[in-house]
Structure formats: structure tokens, C-alpha cells
Amino acid sequence: MDIPKIVNQQKCFFNSNCTKEVTLRINTLKKLKNVIKENEKELYKAIYTDFKKSEFETYITEIALIYNELNDAIKNLKRWSKQKRVRTNLANFPAKSYIIPEPLGTILVISAWNYPYQIALIPVISAIAAGNTVVIKPSEIPNNTSRILAKIINTNFDANHFTVVEGSVETTTELLKQKWDKIFFTGSTSVGRIVYKAAAENLTPVTLELGGKSPTFIFKDCDIKLTAKRIVWAKFLNAGQTCIAPDYLLVEKEIEQQLLSSLKSEIEIAYPVNNTINENYVQIINDAHFDRLSNLIPKDKIYFGGEQNASERIIRPTLLQNISFEDPIMKDEIFGPLLPIISFENLDKVITKVKAKEKPLSLYIYSKNKKIIRKTLHEISFGGGAINESLVHLSNPNLPFGGVGTSGIGNYHSKAGFDTFTHYKSILHKSFLFEPNLKYTPFTKWKRQIVKFILE
């Protein structure tokens, strides 16, 4: 594959100015929606082959999110791309001022494997809505989903506008050598560093959607049963292979046993079969991740679960008790169906412990106490989150999605996504009608007085 040629052709296409036409952008997005609709069955089939994931779960966590993003962009694109008039200050009189949203140019989107369709396509929708050309490099790990994505995009769209390049590290390394106008990366913090370094060579701006350990606080005044039900859903969806899944629980000591017992009951209801293929429970993506997760389980701390089936790559939802911040499982993002539970009595101390770690991508609080919620939100920096829920903040298009610190740089979804791929060009537009002459020589005393009067 001739990567420099693909990039060069996209640059020529962008320079022809046709992607600046709002109608072309809207038509491309409408076509993308149709192409996905026509190929939905194949998309479900490929993801089942890679993950044993059901149509229903794929629909709610992938396809529906893509349709929502498309509908939102198609509906709002004309308004977002309009030039905006702003006030002009007295010092610049007589003039008008405006801001022109302009596309950045040619974009590289590199995506992760865990939600292979939406993580690749949602940034692409924003990039196209903003008038850019895009090369997508999906993760090679779920190879059936990567192949179907390449097939449906590359057979239906002009490669000069929008194309998929499949490949692994070598291909990505070659892509990163090119001069892009923006790189949008979703993946691990360690590869994020590689991408950031490569981008710096050309001073290319980046958005980095990374990972980390997302804490979940559970206070004694919460509705324990409903809290347990919501956490079990959020944690074990996609078998815990979700960047914003609750990574670990911080529970008030007083309700620890009650919560553990409710979590266990909810798991038994949601995932009644223990460690065999089951249409409601996803596989671990590959043997390397299976082994990594298997080795992470502290056998003496299992409260529930722990059963494994290596040939099917299934690990039963597992609850781990008596965990402290020093346990090995508290070092890195878990990214699997293991849920460590730490109990606490002193909120200030536990906040200090959380703050000593890297800034999380997400944080969740289960409580009815407004003061406690406000305190926790105020004191801990994190990407985004939810109160008395988990994950679902991602599905509200009015909430920009992204991390902070090592969990990410920049954000996207809906208008925030449009902004991510847009440069706002500021223009001051002067009239020829009148020239105040104040800024020109000679710098007389009266000119100084007037200038001081205007500027101070």
C-alpha cells in the first residue's frame, strides 16, 4: 500500500475546496448512514466472530451511537459551519468582526479494538462534518470487524475523501511519518505517547482518547440494590473491556457487605451461566489479554466468580474483596471483568489516594448526599462521569467526551467533535469609509490623550 500517495491524493482533494461545501458533507454523512443500514447484518456477524457479542449489545453500544452521531451532525451541520459575527471594540472602529469555521485538512484517525465500529466512526463523522478528508486506521486485533469496516467504506466512498487503511504497528508507524493536519488517536496511554511524539515532529495537533483507572464511589446513603444493578451492567458489559467502565469500587465500610451481596445477586441474575459461551456475555478479545487478566486475579481475595474457560476465552464476572491501593490489580487499567472493591471510612483520606494516581478518564458517585457529591466532584480532576449511573454520560451528545492528564487530550462527540476538527479563523474587516488617523505619526499630545481615553 502506497501510504504517501493516499495522503497526497487526499491533500489534493482537500485543496480543491470541494469538502468545504456543506452539501457535500451532509450527503456524505447521509450516504454513510445508508451504507451502515444496508450492511448492518454483516457488521453484527463480524463482531460476533471476533467477540461472540450479541446483536442487541452491538446495537446499543455501537450502531445506535453511530446513528445518533450521524443524525445529530446532519441536523446541525449548517448551523455549526456558519460564520459567526462578533462585536468589534471601539479601538478598531469602523470595522466588523467575524469568525469563520474552517476544516483543518487531512486527518488521521487511529482507533482501538474494544468498540471497533463506534470508536473508528464517531470521530470520522465529526471530521467529515467539519469538512476534512480522513484516513482511518482501525485496530488490527478484531480482524473481522476491521475487514468489514474497510470493505464497506472503501467500496462506497471516494478514497480521496474518506478511506480505511488496515494494518498493524508497521502500517501505523508509516502513517505517523506523514504530515497530517490532525491526528485523532484512541487507545492506550503508552501508544498515545508514541503518537504524540510522532505528531510533534510536524507540530501536528492531536486529540488523544486514552485510558486509565476509573474509580466509583459508593456512599452509605445510596440505593444499594439499584447501585449494584447499575454497576454490574456497566462493569460487565463487553466483559469489562470498556475504557470508561468502573475500574474499581470505593465503598463506605458500613455498607460493604451489603453491597458485595447485592453485586453477587445482580451478577447471578444478569449472567446466570458461569464460564461458557453465552449470548449475553462477551469473550476476552485474545489469548494475550486472557492470560493477562487471569494472572491479575488474586486467588485469596475472590468474593465471587473467578472461574475461567481458556479455550472459549471467558472469565466469569469476578468480585474481589479486601483490596487496598497497594495491591497489584490497582496498578494499571484492568480492562476486563474483574472488579476490585476497596472499603473506606474517611473520605478525605480516600480522595487523597485517588488524587495520588493518574487523572482518571471517568469517575462515578453513587449517593443522594449533595454535599458529598459536590465535594468529590470539586476535589478530583477526571475526564467526565455520572452520578448514580455509570458509562451513560457518553451517550448524551451535549456532553463533550474526553480525558484529562494521562487519560487524554481534547474531546469530541456532537458539536465538541466538530470543534475538534475545525479551526476558527478570526477576521477583522475594516471599512474604507473613514480613517481616524490616530495610529499614524506624528504622535502629538492630543492624539495621545484620545488614544489613552479610548484604550483605558
Please, which residue, 184 or 217, has the CB nearer to ligand NAD?
A: 184
Question: Rule CB under 6 A: which of 185-204 touch ligand NAD?
Answer: 186-188, 191, 194
Q: Which of 9, 106, 111, 160 binds ligand NAD (CB under 6 A)?
A: 111
Q: How far is the CB of 139 from ligand NAD (least distance, A)?
A: 4
Residue 395 beta carbon to ligand NAD: minimum distance, rounded to whole angstroms: 13
Catalytic residue check, 12: no
| Residue 136, all three cell numbers | 482511518
C-beta separation of 50 from 286 below 8 A: no
The residue among 4 and 94 lying less far from ligand NAD, judged by its C-beta, is 4
Candidates 62, 69, 166, 243; catalytic one: 243
**Shortest CB 361 distance to ligand NAD, Å:** 5
Starting from the edge strand earliest in sequence, which strands make up the sheet with 162-164, in order?
162-164, 133-137, 106-110, 182-186, 206-209, 408-409
The answer to whether residue 173 forms part of the interface with ligand NAD (CB under 6 A) is yes
Active-site residue flag, 209: yes
Catalytic-labelled residue, pool 62, 166, 209, 358: 209
The vertex-229 CA angle with 379 and 236, nearest 5°, equals 85
**Shortest separation between residue 416's beta carbon and ligand NAD, angstroms:** 13
- Of 61 and 367, which has the nearer Cβ to ligand NAD? 61
Measured from the CB atom, the residue of 193 and 374 that comes closer to ligand NAD is: 193
- Using Cβ positions, the residue closest to ligand NAD within the complex turns out to be 211
Is 113 a residue that touches ligand NAD (CB under 6 A)? yes
- The Cα–Cα gap between 96 and 82 comes to 16
Q: How far apart are CA 348 and CA 93, in angstroms?
A: 54
Residue span 389-408 as binding mask against ligand NAD, x where in contact by CB under 6 A, dash where not: --------------x----x
CA distance 143 to 49: 9
Q: Does 110 engage in binding with ligand NAD (CB under 6 A)?
A: yes
Number of residues engaging ligand NAD in binding (CB under 6 A):
27
Per CB under 6 A, the list member of 112, 199, 255, 365 interacting with ligand NAD is 112
Per-residue contact flags (x/-) with ligand NAD for residues 215 to 254, judged by CB under 6 A: ----------------------------x-----------
Kindly list the residues in this chain that would bind ligand NAD in the complex (CB under 6 A). 110-114, 119, 137, 139-140, 168-169, 172-173, 186-188, 191, 194, 209-211, 243, 333, 335, 361, 403, 408
Catalytic residues: 209, 243
